[in-house]
């Protein structure tokens, strides 16, 4: 019995020493980590911190798995700063966890957005250099090598080529590990990042959407699946397929400002304006919460992005009061965080342009001013072009032709500036500026009574628009070329042709206020009372819950009252 007690005590002593040794053992830290400017600090998670559910730890220490999975969830909702901070938290706790380095590199890549800066690329390259020296299993090595394919030779190889490399590597992982949900999800994201940004076939989007839809029923609370379905279906052809998912995503990741906003991409494509408004009002609140927690000077970019979609939705409901109110909340700001994102710079020229052009307030459009802020607009030719397009459209309709000619030359130069950037990710932007200066030139010919030449050039602009995809940051064209063609045809007393143009416009841009009104007037002038009533009734239905002062609604009510039978 005494011998048994001695053995027991000895065993317990050994176990205690072993546990203390493990507890006191510090992970080996690579000194190179100190040279990397990692994002650190407390995670700024507004609301109740819900970002969806997933499990993707890949053999890191058990104690870090909760942080790692949160980091991946943040990554899937494009909370890139907080995602990097969460991955770095894992690195600090377990510097030998290869996938934490993978996560930092993925947070820097932000595949569905703008390309990383040179500083970010250098940082990602160095992070992966350290990661590749760690011990890891084959699967981890495959993930590391996949994202490394994007960063390799970043100084000499263009973004599009490197993004395609990543896609190819992710396809290999997807096919190799057929039971790995995250492999399928990140492969779908890679497909989206290499999509044809100009054409209308949507081959990558269809393929990615099919993969994601096959996963959604068994993973209904996964933020990446829902989010990337919306991105892939954010176009007029596929939007209906994304509606069910759009109505779920916000509840999957309620603490993400981006998750609150993203459903409105689908609502906008389908003309579901009330849901778009509700979605973006929630996103505004989340964005303000994050900006306050981060102590930013000026709004967080998600607030400006949501405002852009919000103003667009209010305008389609004829609600100028709320559209102008939302713009007034941001128009005096001089600083945004961060300053140079498309989601900041685009709305600051597009929103005032829309407010003037949608209301055909030509005097207002002709006298617009660029938003004054700590930014050199010459570095953003696509965004600046929107401002010059609006000014030109205003000027041409108040017969200030000298001003129009100046603006046309500026637009042409801005397109050349875009081309000179030699950035293949800006193909849509180049096409959109071309559509703009052709549209303005068409109306300049038209206002100078060269109707044939004006109509021909307007049709060229429309054809170019037909074959150009929507830019992912925008709720839609500032004003569709096909809608302006309808306006021109009406002025030429060709109402039947105008009606065809307006109806084509409504197929691509459902429930646009001016599209419906234009179709009603074209039908009226064509002698088609059935369609007149149909379109005017649509206009009344569209605006019934908004306090609109648009004269078009008064006209619609008057017509329906006088033609009740």
Structural domain ending residue among the three candidates 329, 352, 377: 329
| 29 band by pLDDT with thresholds 50, 70 and 90 | low
Residue 541's CATH number:
1.25.40.10
CATH number assigned to the domain comprising residue 200: 1.25.40
Same domain, 309 and 233: no
Average pLDDT over residues 432-457: 98
Q: Is the same domain home to 20 and 91?
A: yes
- Whether residue 428 lies inside any domain: the answer is no
Q: How many structural domains are present in the chain? A: 3
Q: What is the mean pLDDT of the chain?
A: 92
Co-location of 45 and 148 in the same domain: yes
d(CA 234, CA 557): 34
Question: Considering the domain boundaries, does residue 53 fall inside one?
Answer: yes
Whole-prediction pTM value?
Answer: 0.91
Residue 41 lies in a domain: yes
Decide which of 201, 230, 261 is a domain's last residue: 261
Asked, for residue 190, whether it belongs to a domain, the answer is: yes
Residues 186 and 257 occupy one common structural domain: yes
Query: pLDDT tens-digit profile of 482-524?
Result: 999 999 999 999 999 999 999 999 999 999 999 999 999 999 9
Q: Evaluate if residue 4 carries a pLDDT over 60.
A: no
Helix axes 263-270, 223-232, angle to 10 degrees: 30
Closest CA to 366 of 403, 416, 317, 410: 403
| Span 200-256, pLDDT tens digits | 899 999 999 999 999 999 999 999 999 999 999 999 899 999 999 999 999 999 999
Asked whether the CA dihedral 13, 19, 22, 25 is positive or negative, the reply is negative
Side-chain-facing half-sphere of 44: CA atoms under 13 Å: 21
Are 129 and 196 within one domain? yes
Residue at which a domain ends, from 209, 237, 261: 261
Q: Do 140 and 203 reside in the same domain of the chain?
A: yes
Any domain includes 346: no
- With a pLDDT cut of 70, the percent of the chain lying above it is 94
Same domain, 83 and 171: yes
Q: What CA–CA distances, in Å, run from 504 to 227, 302, 312, 499, 500?
A: 29, 32, 20, 8, 6
Which residues span the domain enclosing 138? 1-261
Q: Which helix (H) or strand (E) holds 126?
A: helix 118-131
Q: Are residues 223 and 303 in the same domain?
A: no
Whether 167 and 298 map to the same domain: the answer is no
Q: Are both 126 and 158 inside the same structural domain? A: yes
Distance between CA 304 and CA 330 in Å, rounded? 7
Indicate whether 114 belongs to any domain: yes
Residues 291, 236 share a domain = no
Among the ranges given (13-27, 286-300, 375-389), the one the predictor scored with the smallest mean pLDDT: 13-27
Contact residues for 541 (Cβ-Cβ < 8 A; gap 6+):
none
Task: Write the burial class of residue 257 (CB in 10 Å: 0-12 exposed, 13-18 middle, 19+ buried).
Answer: buried
Domain check: are 223 and 130 in the same one? yes
């Amino acid at each position: 019995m005494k011998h048994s007690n001695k053995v027991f005590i000895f065993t317990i002593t050994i176990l205690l020493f072993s546990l203390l040794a493990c507890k006191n053992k510090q992970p080996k830290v690579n000194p190179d980590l100190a040279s990397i400017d990692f994002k650190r600090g407390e995670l700024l998670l507004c609301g109740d911190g819900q970002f969806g559910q997933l499990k993707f730890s890949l053999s890191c220490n058990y104690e870090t798995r909760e942080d790692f999975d949160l980091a991946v969830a943040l990554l899937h909702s494009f909370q890139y700063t907080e995602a990097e901070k969460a991955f770095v938290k894992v690195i600090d706790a377990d510097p030998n966890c290869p996938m934490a380095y993978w996560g930092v590199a993925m947070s820097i890549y932000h595949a569905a957005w703008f390309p990383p800066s040179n500083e970010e690329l250098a940082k990602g390259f160095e992070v992966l250099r350290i990661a590749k020296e760690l011990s890891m299993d084959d699967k981890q090595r495959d993930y590391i090598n996949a994202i490394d394919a994007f960063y390799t030779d970043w100084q000499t190889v263009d973004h599009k080529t490197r993004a395609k490399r990543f896609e190819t590597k992710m396809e290999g992982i997807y096919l190799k590990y057929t039971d790995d949900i995250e492999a399928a999800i990140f492969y779908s994201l890679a497909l989206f990042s290499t999509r044809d940004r100009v054409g209308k076939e949507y081959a990558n989007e269809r393929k990615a959407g099919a993969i994601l839809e096959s996963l959604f029923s068994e993973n209904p609370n996964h933020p990446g699946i829902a989010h990337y379905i919306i991105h892939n279906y954010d176009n007029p052809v596929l939007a209906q397929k994304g509606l069910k998912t759009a109505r779920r995503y916000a509840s999957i990741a309620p603490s993400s400002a981006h998750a609150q906003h993203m459903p409105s991409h689908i609502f906008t494509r389908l003309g579901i304006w009330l849901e778009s408004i509700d979605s973006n009002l929630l996103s505004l609140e989340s964005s303000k919460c994050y900006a306050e927690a981060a102590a930013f000077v000026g709004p967080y970019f998600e607030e400006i992005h949501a405002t852009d979609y919000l103003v667009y939705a209010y305008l389609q409901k004829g609600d100028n009061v709320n559209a102008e109110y939302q713009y007034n909340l941001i128009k005096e700001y001089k600083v945004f965080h961060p300053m140079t994102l498309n989601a900041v710079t685009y709305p600051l020229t597009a929103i005032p342009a829309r407010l003037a052009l949608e209301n055909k307030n030509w005097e207002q459009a002709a006298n617009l001013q660029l938003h004054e802020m700590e930014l050199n607009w010459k570095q953003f030719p696509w965004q600046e072009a929107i401002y010059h397009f609006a000014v030109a459209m205003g000027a041409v309709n108040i017969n200030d032709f000298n001003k129009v000619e100046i603006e046309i030359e500026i637009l042409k130069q801005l397109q050349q500036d875009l081309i000179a950037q030699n950035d293949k990710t800006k193909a849509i932007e180049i096409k959109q500026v071309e559509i703009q200066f052709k549209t303005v030139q068409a109306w300049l010919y038209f206002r100078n009574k060269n109707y044939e030449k004006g109509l021909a050039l307007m049709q060229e602009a429309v054809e170019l628009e037909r074959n150009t995809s929507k830019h992912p940051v925008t709720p839609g064209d500032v004003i569709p070329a096909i809608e302006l063609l309808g306006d021109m045809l009406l002025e030429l007393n060709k109402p039947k042709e105008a009606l065809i143009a307006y109806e084509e416009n409504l197929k691509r841009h459902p429930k646009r206020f001016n599209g419906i009104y234009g179709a009603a007037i074209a039908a009226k002038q064509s002698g088609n009372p059935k369609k007149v009533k149909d379109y005017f009734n649509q206009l009344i239905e569209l605006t019934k819950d908004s306090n609109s002062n648009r004269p078009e609604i008064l006209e619609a009510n008057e017509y329906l009252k006088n033609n009740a039978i």
